[in-house]
Amino acid sequence: MFAQTKKNFEINSIVFIGNQSFSSSTLSEVVYSKITPGWFWKFLNSFSSLGKEPSYFDSSLIPLDLTALKEFYNSNGFFNAQFSCSYKADTSKYLVNIIYKIIENQPATYGSLYLRGLKDVPPDVLSKIHDETSLNENQRFSQSTIQKNTANVLTELLNNGYVFARYDSTIIIKDTSTNKANVDIFFIPGKRYKIDTVLVQKSGKGAKLVNEKLLRNISGIKAGDYYDQDELRRSQVRLYRTGLFESAILTAINEDTTDHKIPIRLAGTIGLLNELSPEVILNNQQNAFNVGLGAAYIKKNFFGDARKLTLSSSFGVQNLFNVDFGNLIKHFSYKDTTLLGYVDSHITVDQPYLFGKPIFGSWETYVKIDKQATYNNTVYGSSFTLDFELPTYTFINHLSTSYTVEQSNEVYRTLNDSLSSKLISDIAADIASTTADNILFPTQGYNLSFHVEEANSIPLLISRVLKQNYSGSLFYKILLTGSYYIPLDNIKNSIAAFKLEVGNLQTFYGGFSGVPLNRTFYAGGSNSIRAWRSNQLVPQGSDSVLSIYGINNVKGGAFLLESSMEYRYRFLENFGTVLFSDVGNTWESYKQFRYDGLAVAVGIGFRYYTAVAPFRLDFGFKFYDPGDHRFIFDHKIVFQQLQVQFGIGEAF
């Protein structure tokens, strides 16, 4: 045996032959034998906890590998698959190459599926269960699909009063004559229970200042309803959103069930109702990585009903390494284009469970100064938002509406500090659908969002009633964003990610010059086309006040098209790397769209994953620049086309 020689042999390669249904990378995760890591990772491991140890050949693992492959194929319907193994040793380099030969044969498909033990379940619940367990008889048998169906049945039972429902067993009968797999799944649903009452157990420094009736109302759990496990989870989220709780747990009191009724225990620790907290700002506002400081005062249970008052202020600096701090200390000026970023202040009142319904209301008054290289924009306004709670199992699972009154004072430094003031009255709605499995590192599923807003119809109506002229602009704006994630291996460390974003802004009264800067579309930056600086991609010579001076436009466009593709690979738990391509730009209108106007970026990125969010560093190259219609190969110095981007969280 090679593993017993004086010098161990490392595994140089593992090759799979005949695997038509599964990739070699997937099968590599199944077998126990592993390819030895590269020299760099072995070098790191030699003196630190980073990197990986060498992987040595052990012939005793071969039978285990063959068994693991057989079990994997068997669980995916290949009941007659055959496996063999051979290996070749390079005695001069002490390396071994392993070859697994696979004969898959024809896979089995589904035959019958019976759910046993549910004869006493009501027809309406059975209908929901069967909707979640339908199988296609032409579909290849997969044990993971059976497990998913089993979990779906249990979920429906737990969400319809069956508190003690449990899975018992599965019997799979292989019909070799028809090459079908007949499946019987056995359940023990138990009795069906309704909620008796909600018992509140408070603790913590602020417990005496919050009454029990309020907490019951916020939870939304009503006596007489059937027990619903998902509803308990949503109720727990509602309680946390109040900000009152350090911890909140909703559980059924299993030992106290009578007459098919079960009580619910709400156990919560309520902290201090007044907080003063400093914070370090790290965000991606306006497609730029900002670093700054902030502070907030929070008054919880403000005038009762779990309202929350927040007074906050913060500032963020873009392109921190380009700031001339010495000159700023001696002579601060808003004309200094090395200091870019924002300063803002907010007064916010949040109200959970508004109007006695699971609606989260928020009223906010704010002031913000946005400082860019060519303009300053001072914005102040007030906004009222309603966030509606929707079931997670529906296609649309997020809905929010808002009404905003906002004043923008735009100062263009390139036009001798000329001032343009714009007042808007804005009605907006956001609709979203998401099935992504992880916020920080999505590995499968999708995110879809649709934003629509209409501005200034109310002021126009008022001016018409008062028989006055109205000089503003009416416009609508829509933005559709979709992202999709596909795992490329079983452990979901290799991910293909895609994003498409399309936006359009259309004026139907007044001109585009009456639209505020912060309502137009920009491209470029850490969350956009990463080979360009933040908001750098704007239409040139657009219908704005700037174009009459014959200078470059600083105003965003009325039409946006962006698309991104990424290959994400996570390794060593907390590290990751990304290969990406971004395509997009903004135009004066959708009618001005041209394919040769699309900016194309390619690059590589690195990730460090923390418990809070991933930190990322991206290197984007201008593969095609629509400004001069040149490709990267047309430039003598490629690194002049490089833009470095910092960010928090994945790009999408």
Pairing relationship of beta strands 82-90 and 10-17 according to DSSP bridges:
unpaired
Q: How many residues are listed for the chain in this entry?
A: 652
**Could you count the other beta carbons within 10 Å of the beta carbon of residue 404?**
18
CB 555 within 8 A of CB 542: yes
- What DSSP letter does each residue of 347-379 carry, written as one string? EEEEESSGGGSSEEEEEEEEEEEEE-SSEEEEE
Q: Does residue 5 register a pLDDT over 60?
A: no
Q: What is the pLDDT of residues 114-144, one digit of tens each?
A: 999 999 999 999 998 988 887 777 889 999 8
Query: Among 175-179, 305-309, 316-320, 586-590, which is the least confidently predicted range?
Result: 316-320
In the chain, residues under CATH classification 2.40.160.50 are: 304-312+323-648
Residue 260, helix vs strand vs coil: coil
Q: Does residue 341 register a pLDDT over 90?
A: no
Please tell me what DSSP assigns to residue 299: E
Pairing relationship of beta strands 308-318 and 474-487 according to DSSP bridges:
unpaired
pLDDT band for position 176 (cuts 50, 70, 90): confident
Give the CATH fold of the 109-188 domain.
Ubiquitin-like (UB roll) (3.10.20)
Q: Is domain 194-270 classified as CATH 3.10.20.310?
A: yes
Specify the pLDDT at position 313. Answer: 96
Query: Among 308-317, 344-353, 553-562, which is the least confidently predicted range?
Result: 553-562
CA-CA distances (angstroms) from residue 104 to 140, 159, 182, 353, 587? 13, 41, 21, 57, 53
3 state SS for 455-477: ECHHHHHHHHHCCCCCCCCEEEE
Residue 132, helix vs strand vs coil: coil
- Joined tokens for residue 87: 């290996």
**Nearest 5°: phi and psi at 139?**
-85, 140
In the chain, residues under CATH classification 3.10.20.310 are: 2-103, 109-188, 194-270
Specify the pLDDT at position 3. Answer: 47
Q: What is the pLDDT of residues 595-613, one digit of tens each?
A: 999 999 999 999 998 877 8
CB 521 within 8 A of CB 560: yes
Give the CATH fold of the 304-312+323-648 domain.
Porin (2.40.160)
Measure CA 415 to chain center.
Answer: 40
Q: Which residue, 134, 126, 132, is CA-closest to 110?
A: 134
Pairing relationship of beta strands 474-487 and 494-509 according to DSSP bridges:
antiparallel
Q: Which residue, 292, 342, 287, is CA-closest to 320?
A: 292
Question: Where do the DSSP E strands lie in 510-638?
Answer: 559-571, 575-587, 599-609, 614-625, 630-631
pLDDT band for position 332 (cuts 50, 70, 90): low
Specify the pLDDT at position 455. Answer: 94
State the chain's mean pLDDT as an integer.
Answer: 87
How many angstroms separate the CA atoms of 187 and 216, rounded?
33
How many angstroms separate the CA atoms of 556 and 540, rounded?
9
CB 281 within 8 A of CB 294: yes
Question: Where do the DSSP E strands lie in 125-244?
Answer: 166-175, 180-188, 194-203
Specify the pLDDT at position 564. Answer: 97
Beta-bridge partners for 188: 166
Give the CATH fold of the 2-103 domain.
Ubiquitin-like (UB roll) (3.10.20)
- What DSSP letter does each residue of 175-186 carry, written as one string? ETTTTEEEEEEE
Residue 409, helix vs strand vs coil: strand
pLDDT band for position 472 (cuts 50, 70, 90): confident
Q: Does residue 358 register a pLDDT over 50?
A: yes
CB 609 within 8 A of CB 576: yes
Please tell me what DSSP assigns to residue 322: G
Specify the pLDDT at position 514. Answer: 87
Place of tokens 């727990």: 236
**Could you count the other beta carbons within 10 Å of the beta carbon of residue 544?**
22
